[in-house]
Structure 1
Amino acid sequence: MNLEFSEEARAIGDQARRFLEKRDCRERARAALSGEAEPDVELWREMVAFGWIGSFIPEEYGGNGAGYEALCVIAEEIGRSLAPVPFASNILAGEIILRSGTQEQKSYWLPKIASGEMIGTLALHEAPGRISADAITLRYENGRLTGRKCPVPDGAQADFAVVVARDPDGSIVPVLAFFDETVTRTRQPTIDDSRAQAELHFDGTPGERLGSGGSGAWAELVAALDRAAVILAFEEVGGAQACLDLAVEYAKTRHAFGRPIGANQAIKHKLANVYVAVELARSNAMMGALGLLSEQGDLAVAAATARVSAIQAFIMASSESIQTHGGIGFTWEADTNLFYRRANALALGLGTESYWKERLVSGLEQRHLA
């Protein structure tokens, strides 16, 4: 079993790393956190120009057809660089349209996503708690949406959303909706404001039902979350690796009592444990990518495994990087606090760790019974 990306995908990853390093994304994220900068439109447009945003979109809908391999390596570099862009949310919205939309909907929406003309997101949550169809109360009736969604990832800068609603019959329906004057957006402060979240109020907002209808809408949505979980796992792996690199470099150069602090066994063991966690998360993410590429096997189990291990690795790596840096690690000037913020924000962005653990256990039980 080959757990390496193709040469073409690795070349895209190298390009992404060089580009994002030149753009000094950590300083851009710090500026966004301090309220000194609006969403980085310029950076987003440059990424669009490279064709990264349309990687998963077929050429017939305006994408470049590079596929999931390219998407995974780009996500990893975004995580490594801390780029403050609505990458994951936009990909998830496009993925749902690609998998569930009608031919007309795909032809209209996907080219706009690929070209960067519009940014999308998924409006799913209505309150804190696990992802569940029972928690959906927002109404879709007579072609209009009424209700509240919060938090909506990147909802403060998105142009449209796939809104998960409930119709008069009580069925779950995904609805495509522009953010017009009937939508009230309130920015929600979070631990990582470089990825602006929002509370959305829909007051008779016009919306178009996604797809041709049917009873499998929730199952299709969950399947889309599985695919998005793999992409997000790569972003978290990239962030975790960056944290480890920061800690190792500091441990080599920071001297105490006449020698580098990395010479102390306590630091060595700490960073060795982080290395194991990061490599485990990377392996699990690669298994998830293999499921995406082959569309065979149990993607749900692979995605849940990747998501859980990536959450744990990124939080662990960011925490231990702060500890390795000592007192300076907690300061505003240090990059370590930026990664810690991003790690905790991503851990909640697509369902919590406990939700994905439940998905993993359920999937393993079903596999055993089969």
Structure 2
Amino acid sequence: MNLDFSDDQKFLQDEARKFFDKEGGLANARKVMDESISHDDSLWAKIVELGWTGIRIPEEYDGLGLGHLELCVIAEEIGRALAPIPFSSSVYLFTETIIKYASDEIKKEILPKLVTGEVVGTYAVAEDMAAVSEANLSCSVDGDAINGTKIAVPDADLATHAIVLAKGSSGIELRLVDLNSEGVSTSLQKNLDKSRSFYKVELNNSKSSLLGESGAGWDSHVHIMDQAAVLFAFEQVGGSQQALDMAKQYAMERYAFGRQIGSYQAIKHKLADM
């Protein structure tokens, strides 16, 4: 069985790598951390121009209509560059949820705007430091009004909309919330990862729309997270490969006792173990 990417997917990967290298590579992540900003606006705008925000969105909604493997290719290169953009929250989580569970009316309203960048999404699940479960959710829905507090919501400063996990009358539901609507407030939270920003989102009788079936939200959430886990793994592969490449490059450039340190067997073993 051939588990390698196709020629077209490899071409996409090569173009993505060239793009991130041209746009500064790891320097973008350093800038975000040094300047204490949430993301790189310029880089995100160029990602939108390339159409990558619509990579999984069907062509009927102005997207590229590509598959998950193409998204994996982009994810790997994002990880390699540590790109400080809201791609994972808006594309892996928000867009995939809209594609799979939203009504036709919501799809027509939201998906084309995700392609153009007019809409940026995020995913709001956690409420405290404990693992998220059906039992410990307190965010609730009464009719279309949603109340509660979510923490560690990624990119909520840039996001226009959020998918919110909440308790409804029939069980757990996925709810679409406009973050610019009445009753919604966001505040920055401290975190260890300075290349990403996370926020507390408070909902006070905010208007929301049901995604999928009432009571089926937990299973839907698990499905979306399982898909996203694969994409985050590809980001980690990209970051790990970049670390190895940088270590190898240093080993070829650094000299000790008149030789490249990469020529010493002990260094070769360390690189092989990586």
Q: TM-score, normalised by structure 2?
A: 0.93
- Aligned partner of 2:124 in structure 1 is 123
1:15 pairs with 2:15: yes
The alpha-carbon deviation at position 145 of structure 1 amounts to: 1.6
235-244 or 213-222, larger mean C-alpha shift: 213-222
Q: C-alpha distance in 2, partners of 1:184/1:260?
A: 56
Task: Give 1:165 deviation, angstroms.
Answer: 0.6
Instruction: Decide whether the 8 Å contact of 2:29 with 2:84 is kept in 1.
Output: yes
**Matches of 1:73 and 1:233, distance apart in 2:** 11
Q: What's the CA shift for 1:258?
A: 3.2
Report what 2:235 is aligned to. 235
Question: Partner residue of 1:96?
Answer: 97
Greater share of residues in strand: 2
Match for residue 148 of structure 2? 147
Give, in whole Å, the separation in 1 of the partners of 2:163 and 2:207.
Answer: 12
Alignment of 1:1-370 (within 5 A): 1-35=1-35, 37=37, 39-91=39-91, 92-167=93-168, 169=169, 171-180=171-180, 181-211=182-212, 213-274=213-274
Taking structure 1 as the reference length, the TM-score comes to 0.70
SS class of match (1:131): coil
Pair 1:137–1:38, CA change in 2 (3 A): closer
User: What is the SS of the residue equivalent to 1:25?
Assistant: coil
| Unpaired segments ≥5 residues, structure 1 | 275-370
CA change 1:135–1:268 in 2 (3 A) is farther
Deviations 1:341-365 (A, max 9, x none): xxxxxxxxxxxxxxxxxxxxxxxxx
**Structure-1 separation of matches of 2:159 and 2:201:** 11
Task: Note if contact 1:25-1:84 (Cα within 8 Å) is conserved in structure 2.
Answer: no
1:243-275, CA deviations, whole angstroms, 9 ceiling, x for partnerless residues?
00011111222223333333344432222121x
Q: Give deviations 1:265-298, integer Å, cap 9, x for gaps.
A: 4432222121xxxxxxxxxxxxxxxxxxxxxxxx
Q: Over the residues paired in the alignment, what is the CA RMSD in angstroms?
A: 1.7
Aligned pair in 2 of structure 1 residues 38, 136: CA closer, same or farther (>3 Å)?
A: closer
Distance (whole Å) between structure 2 residues aligned to residue 204 and residue 193 of structure 1:
32
Amino acid paired to 2:248: V
Aligned residues: 272
Q: How many percent of aligned residue pairs carry the same amino acid?
A: 40
Structure with the largest fraction of helix: 1
Matches of 2:59 and 2:47, distance apart in 1: 18
Q: C-alpha displacement at 1:105, in angstroms?
A: 1.4
The structure-2 alpha-carbon separation of the partners of 1:25 and 1:192, relative to structure 1 and needing over 3 Å to count, comes to: farther
SS where residue 135 of structure 1 aligns? coil
Q: Comparing 237-246 with 104-113, which one deviates more in the overlay? A: 104-113
Inter-partner Cα distance in structure 1 for 2:200 and 2:261: 45
Judged with a 3 Å threshold, the aligned counterparts in structure 2 of structure 1 residues 146 and 215 are, in CA distance, closer, same or farther, namely closer
